[in-house]
Amino acid sequence: MSHLNDRDRENALNEVRLLASISHPAIVAYKQAFLDEPSRILCIVEEFADGGDLYQRIQAHRELKEYISEDELWNIFLGVAAGLQALHSRQILHRDLKSANVFLFRNGRVKLGDLNASKVAERGELQATQTGTPYYASPEVWKNHPYDDKSDMWSFGCVLFETATLRPPFRADDMEGLFRKVTRGVYPRIPACYSQQVADVIAWLLRVNPKERPGVSELLARLNLNVEAVLGPKGRTALLKRIKLPNDPKELHKLLPPARYSRPRPLN
């Protein structure tokens, strides 16, 4: 924390706040946060994703030259959609949705994580801060235009396309070339081994005009999907108060949310 600027310190504390605020089956669970005094490092303990992340899974399939199955793709879709629904219902924008921030579990669960760039927006408020990873950033972010939750939906489309093709939809040799491709919104077709419905969902999400993109609830309604029926109840999503960095860093531990561990089961 001692080497960060004020904005990065606020982002770190904001991530703790958001993680501790949301208890949801499609969001990586918060366990504990503490400041290591000797190093002044803020440590965030989270649920362990024993299946790695989606980026690693995609790279493994690229090495094997083998596409991810459509059943697995839809499972990934459901987990990401449920995670976005949990965030967007509380006016939280992820702002850095990419395959490396989609976490996988051996039991088949798929969860969103890494909320460092996330932002709580007032209802109806548009964001103007440029953030995210270039390959997944929406046209409005590239153009420095105001954006809302529809920017996350564009990134969702990029993640689904990458899951299907094992490559991002927009690639170029330099940033200027990438800007042109993203703002035009023209991308290759997905492999023929996937259904037309997969292609349709990607097409809905990768519309250059954010007003033409569906929100996550609208998208699920179009597909007649109910994530609660699959994942269970939404869980607790009440936002905790903003954590303000105290003048004396040693006082920070008093402001951090309490640890959240389940009790170990008795052996007998």
| Angstrom distance (rounded) from CA 48 to CA 113 | 11
Burial of residue 108 (CB within 10 Å: 0-12, 13-18, 19+) is exposed
96 is catalytic: yes
Q: Measured between alpha carbons, how far apart are the two ends of the chain, in Å?
A: 44
Long-range contacts of 78-81 (CB under 8 A, 24+ apart): 78/110, 78/225, 78/227, 78/230, 78/231, 79/26, 79/109, 79/110, 79/111, 79/112, 79/231, 80/26, 80/110, 80/112, 80/156, 80/159, 80/160, 81/156, 81/216, 81/219, 81/220, 81/225, 81/227
Task: Give the other-Cβ count within 10 Å of 100's Cβ.
Answer: 18
| Angstrom distance (rounded) from CA 36 to CA 34 | 6
| Angstrom distance (rounded) from CA 102 to CA 172 | 24
| Angstrom distance (rounded) from CA 186 to CA 190 | 12
Active-site choice (53, 96, 149, 152): 96
| Residues acting as catalytic residues | 96
